[in-house]
Structure 1
Amino acid sequence: MKYLKLFFVSILIFLFSCNNKKDHLYGFYYWKTRLSLSESEKTALKKAGLPYVYTRFFDVDKIDGKFQPVGVITKDKSFETAQQIVPTIFVTNRTFLYITKEEIHFLAKSVLDLIQKKTAEYQLKNSGEIQIDCDWTAGTRDDYFAFLQELKKISGKEITCTLRLHQVKDKNLMGIPPVSKVYLMCYSTSSPLENSDKNSILDVRILKNYLSQADDYPIKKIEVALPIYSWGIVTNHLEKHKLINALSDKDLDNPDFRRISANEAEVMKDGFYFGHYLNKGFRIKTEEISDQKLREVVDFLEEKIPQFNIIYYQLDSKFVTGRNFNF
């Protein structure tokens, strides 16, 4: 009888934990210059629970002292989705170096004007939100924050922004952006161009260290951006590195490669591989993120953030086909 009671108690605990498992709606970032959708990408969007797709419109940089839009989007007829578009703008940190108050207003108006122009030109169904992506620093934070406030003032939209891991850990130095919602970028935990045995896309140990005090972050509305992309890091004879996007472990199954480990190989024959000319002796290391690693991150964040949606970076047939997005 004693063991029978323990059995039923165990069952009840299991059922209780299952019933209290948090559900997370999910969506995608779209980060290509030409807006187009393959059938697999359309299928992924239809399955997504969030009614938004976070779409990069253009970058902003300061070149020769002048603000310049870079990589402005174009669109073809295949880009059709029921989701609303959230215009997402990447702004370089140097854009805010030595910027004046008048230039902040000019920059905010120029960004809004170009968003509105592209929205009208391509008949996009935009949401009431504009997201700004910037890796601001302690030296640019005040001007960047002023830009966010000015953009909100002149647009009448909800202005949100991305939040990098170091900006959480060093919040007293980096400041708190004047927005009601942030998007926590849970990737790029280290540089892929350094000699390291870590996964530069996402090292869970590093992430946990940076976010150990995330539950104390003043902005409570936090969405979570998780990586589903992959790449290959090529190292030449001089130990110089370059990236080849969208490579995975299976791409190393090539008769011209010699396997070094599960995710590393050496080129044994000069030739073109993945659109790049690689010499014999070059090494390729692939980095990708498993569902198990994403699950570990989600479990950790559930202890820090009461409720959050997940935005996967990024929507691409190479990364969404056959993937499980329900965590």
Structure 2
Amino acid sequence: MKKILLFSLVVLSFLSCKKDKKYDVIKSFCYWKTDTYFGQEEDSLAKQMNLKHMYVRFFDVDWNPYAEEAQPVATIGNIRITDSLKITPSIFITNDVLLNSSKPQLDVLSERMAIRIKKIIDKYQTEKASALAYKIADADYERQKGNAFQSRLSTDSIIIAEKPKFEKDIQELLFDCDWTESSKENYFYLLEKLKSKFSNYKIASTIRLWQYRYYEKAGVPPVDKGLLMCYNMTNPTEYKTKNSIGTSDELADYITHYKYPLELDIALPLFSWSVLFRGGEFKGVISDYQEFEKSPTIFKKTDDNKYTLQDDIQIGKFYARNGDEIKIEKISDDEIENMIEIITDKVKISNDTKVTFFSFDKKYINDYGVQNISKYYESF
């Protein structure tokens, strides 16, 4: 009896220590726009939050039914972000690509994807080296003032010398796909092909919550690491959905074990949207519409997060009608803390864990507040 009691106390002590222990996780954000340009405000926000890392969407891959092949879409243009940030290029692959492609087509696709990824990385590193080269050349020229033989350094030679130093800024690639049981074989095959073309990088894959809970059914991708996506838990088109972005109760229904075979990074929601319904039927998602509280004669508040239109109105690309309902979906501060508690109870966290928020947008960051976001990181 004494031995059993002693063992129980040891286990409880271990669990208590595990729960109380906090880690200096890698502070990260997702950036999901076609151009990545940090102005003064974005740069300041990144520094205030002491960000170390950014997932940057490079392009998407979708199935073209007319060409009967997978094709890249929405390729990123410029990548100009805070110099100190390491980035993980992220490529979204639709499930249709996997369901419709043959193995030979996936071979060709992996080659095309590799070429495109390397081209974007090369451009990014060249632009960073070029910006530094002009600073070095200008500073050197300034130092020579008063010298009769004042001359300017060749920026081309500086770029060649400095460019290799930026290779360490990218050490990982992320492939984002909501694969299914039917498509997992092709997805895992494509990942293997991509791994062989990027031997100097770690390869990561997104893990949806259902893929985490039912990993034996969904399969485990052949990668070095997973990014657990803790949002978009239900369908926004369903009228009765409480919050399609997610709730802590729903998260707890998925994170039921600690057996997932891959090391995991964590992605949490930091965004909001409004969903338009007409007669209980989904009409679309409205992003960043701020007029609800400003125009109470047009938008009648019927609940904490619901409004009913009192007139016909154009909202972005949507023509909304009198009587339409708008539901605002956002994760509260308390809910994010509850989610973090659920995650840390079941998922192994370390100082190497990237904790990322979707998505980096000054509107969302200012809505939640830098202080609150910093607190979320510290909760790990």
TM-score, normalized by length of structure 2? 0.75
The higher radius of gyration belongs to 2
Query: Are 2:229 and 1:185 equivalent residues in the alignment?
Result: yes
The reply on whether 1:235 has 2:277 as its aligned counterpart is yes
Q: Which has the higher helix share?
A: 2
Partner of 1:312: 357
Is 1:268 the counterpart of 2:310? The answer is yes
Distance 1:90 1:258 in 2: 39
Aligned equivalent of 1:218, options 238, 252, 261 = 261
Residue identity in the other structure for 2:365: V
**Residue 131 (structure 1) aligned to one of 174, 178, 197:** 174
2:133 is aligned with 1:112: no
Q: Which residue of 2 aligns with 1:169?
A: 213
CA-to-aligned-CA distance 1:60-105 (integer Å, 9 cap, x gap): 01112111111111127x6454212211000001111243332222
Q: Secondary structure of 2:60's partner?
A: strand
Shift of 1:50: 4.9
Amino acid at match of 1:108: S
Unaligned ranges ≥5, structure 1: 1-15
Give the equivalent residue in structure 1 for 2:32.
31
Q: d(CA) in 1 for partners of 2:184 and 2:286?
A: 33
Kindly indicate whether residue 114 of structure 2 is the aligned counterpart of residue 69 of structure 1: no
1:260 CA drift (Å): 0.4
In the alignment, the residues of structure 2 paired with residue 18 and residue 85 of structure 1 have an alpha-carbon distance, to the nearest angstrom, of: 30
2:300 is matched by which residue type in structure 1? R
> Counterpart of 1:176 in structure 2: which amino acid?
V
Contact 2:239 2:280 in 1 (8 A): no
For the residue of structure 2 that corresponds to 1:266, the secondary structure is strand
For 2:346, what is the secondary structure of its paired residue?
Answer: coil
1:152 aligns with 2:195: yes
Q: Is the partner of 1:120 in helix, strand or coil? A: helix
Could you tell me how far 1:141 is from its partner in structure 2? 0.8
Change over 3 Å in CA distance of 1:50–1:147 after alignment to 2: farther
- Structure 1 position 207, deviation (Å): 1.1
Q: CA deviation at 1:275?
A: 6.0
Q: Do the aligned partners of residues 19 and 143 (structure 1) sit closer, same or farther apart at CA in structure 2, a change above 3 Å counting?
A: closer
Question: C-alpha distance in 1, partners of 2:236/2:83?
Answer: 33
Cα displacement (A) at 1:277: 3.3
Q: Which stretch shows the higher mean deviation, 315-324 or 113-122? A: 113-122
Deviation at 1:171, TM superposition (A): 1.0
> Against the structure 1 CA distance between its residues 18 and 134, is the aligned structure 2 distance closer, same or farther, given a 3 Å change threshold?
closer
Which has the larger displacement, 55-64 or 43-52?
Answer: 43-52
State how 1:46-125 maps to structure 2 within 5 Å.
Answer: 46-64=47-65, 65-75=68-78, 79-122=81-124, 123=127
- Which residue identity lines up with residue 74 of structure 1 in the other structure? G
* Preserved contact between residue 235 and residue 242 of structure 1 (Cα < 8 Å): yes
In the aligned structure 2, how far is the partner of 1:83 from the partner of 1:23?
Answer: 16
Q: Secondary structure at the match of 1:216?
A: coil
Deviations 1:25-54 (A, max 9, x none): 321000001222243322232234453210
Counterpart residue number, 2:242:
198
Superposed displacement of residue 137, structure 1? 0.7
Q: Count residues in correspondence.
A: 308
Task: Report percent identity of matched pairs.
Answer: 30
Other-structure match for 1:10: none
Normalising by structure 1, report the TM-score: 0.87
| Aligned CA-pair RMSD | 2.3
CA 1:142–1:49: 2 relative to 1, 3 Å: farther
> What residue is the counterpart of 1:209 in the other structure?
253
- Report the Cα distance in structure 2 between the residues aligned to 1:68 and 1:226, rounded to whole angstroms: 29
